[in-house]
Amino acid sequence: MNKRFKQALGFFIVKTLVLAALTVLAAILIFLFAKGAGIISWDFLAKPPENSMTEGGIFPAILGTFYLVFFSVLFSLPPGLACAIYLNEYSPKGWFSGIIRISINNLAGVPSIVFGLFGLAVFVKQLGFGVSILSGSLTLSIVILPLIISSTQEALMTVPQSIREASMALGATKWTTIRRIVLPQATPSILTAVILSIGRAAGETAPILFTAAVFYTRELPKSLFSEVMALPYHIYALITEGTHPETQIKIAYGSSLVLLFMVLFLSMAAIRIRQRHRSHYDKIRR
């Protein structure tokens, strides 16, 4: 009886904790949704801020986030992919690539403000790029680079060695093997990683605090050297520096909701791709 009781109690506690955690998380999302849904409209999404930022919309912030994410992926994807491919396919597997792998994993855990400080010191000030899309996306690209490298490496590692050997045995060169056999199999996982990196880059505030984001600008960015408004910074700025809080708090809620939707949508897309790939791959394996 004692054993049975312990089990019941134990699992009850587990279930309660899980329920508590889920409830709190759901409550947060519902709270934000309830407070923010009212302000979302086509105008809100498509128009710039008006009247001391108490009215109008957040279009420049959405566009700014889009530019930052686009360029950060553009800057980090080629080197990241190349690095992962080289490390996994070409370089001799020894302690050297082991050290590199450990270093990359460690850099994935570095606090994002450290990247922001680096970006401010080097890109904004020393290299003179100023507060701009360029500085911001370079900083963000360093944030997501370790993720891209390590996920791509993992994706490549799951491709069985036998497939590579079979391909080479049939006369294909190493690069052809990589390009036509290995990469296509790893692509869905890589795609998943890229999408998750996009979500990460879209939501990060610390790296863009002083490298790209501004409180208010009316014109849409004209070049890589333009500064931008960005969604995560907009939320932060409105709630900490906002000059007319009663009206601006609603805009902050709305911006949070838009950012949430964006990121959750991207994550869901990534998960779906991975699920479809897994079932497809399982079918092949059979």
Partner 1 sequence: MKKIILSAVCSALLAPAAYAGKVVMEGSTTILPIAQKAAEVYMNKTPGSNITVRGGGSGVGISSIIDGTCDIANASRAIKQKELDNAVKKGRELKAHIIAMDGIVVVLHPSNEIQELSKEQVKNIFTGKTKNWKDVGGKDLKIVPVSRDSSSGTFEAFMEYALDKKRVRPDALVQASNQGIVNFVAQTPGAIGYIGIGYLSEKVKAVRYNGAEATKENVLKNKYSLARPLFMYTVPNPKGEVKAFLDFLKSPEGQKLVEEEGFIALKKN
Partner 2 sequence: MAKKGEKIKEKLIEYFLFALSLASLVFLAGIVVTLFRESLPAFRDIGFFRMIAGRDWYPTYDPPDFGILPLIAGSFLVTLISILISVPLGLAGAVYISELAGKKEKAFLKPALELLSSIPSVVYGFWGMVFLAPFLQKHLELSTGYCALAAGIVLGIMSTPIIASLSEDALNYVPRAFKEASYALGANRWETVTRVIIPSAASGIITSVILGTGRAIGETMVVLMISGGSAILPQSFLEPVRPMTSAIAAEMGEAAFGTPHYHSLFAIALILFGITFVLNLAAEMIAKKFRLKLGASR
Kindly give, in sequence order, each residue whose CB lies less than 8 Å from that of residue 203, ignoring residues fewer than 6 positions away.
Answer: 232, 259, 263
Rule CB under 8 A: is residue 34 a binding residue for partner 2?
Answer: no
SS3 127: coil
**Centroid of chain to Cα 177:** 30
The site map against partner 1 for 178-217 (x = CB under 8 A) is --------------------------------x---xxxx
**Does residue 212 contact residue 88 with C-beta atoms inside 8 Å?**
no
Token output for 40: 């979302």
List Cβ neighbours of 61 (8 Å cut-off, separation of 6 or more).
229, 230, 231, 233, 234, 255
Q: Which of 206, 164, 156 is nearest to 185 (CA)?
A: 156
Is 118 one of the binding residues for partner 1 (CB under 8 A)? no
Decide whether 222 or 269 has the Cβ nearer to partner 2: 269
How many CB atoms lie under 10 A from the CB of residue 10? 10
x/- string (CB under 8 A) for partner 2, residues 81-120?
-xx-xxx--x---------x-xxxxxx-xxxxxxxxxx-x
Closest separation between CB of residue 224 and partner 1, Å? 8
Residue 177 or 256: the one with the smaller Cβ distance to partner 1 is 256
Site for partner 2 in 168-207 (CB under 8 A): 173-175, 196, 199-200, 202-206
Residue 26 or 166: the one with the smaller Cβ distance to partner 2 is 26
- Pick from 128, 171, 283, 285: which binds partner 1 (CB under 8 A)? 128
- By CB under 8 A, residue 245 contacts partner 2: no
Q: How far is the CB of 167 from partner 1 (least distance, A)?
A: 46
Rounded Cα distance between 246 and 52, Å, is: 13
Query: Can you give the binding site for partner 1, defined by CB under 8 A?
Result: 50-53, 124-125, 127-132, 210, 214-219, 223-227, 237, 240-245
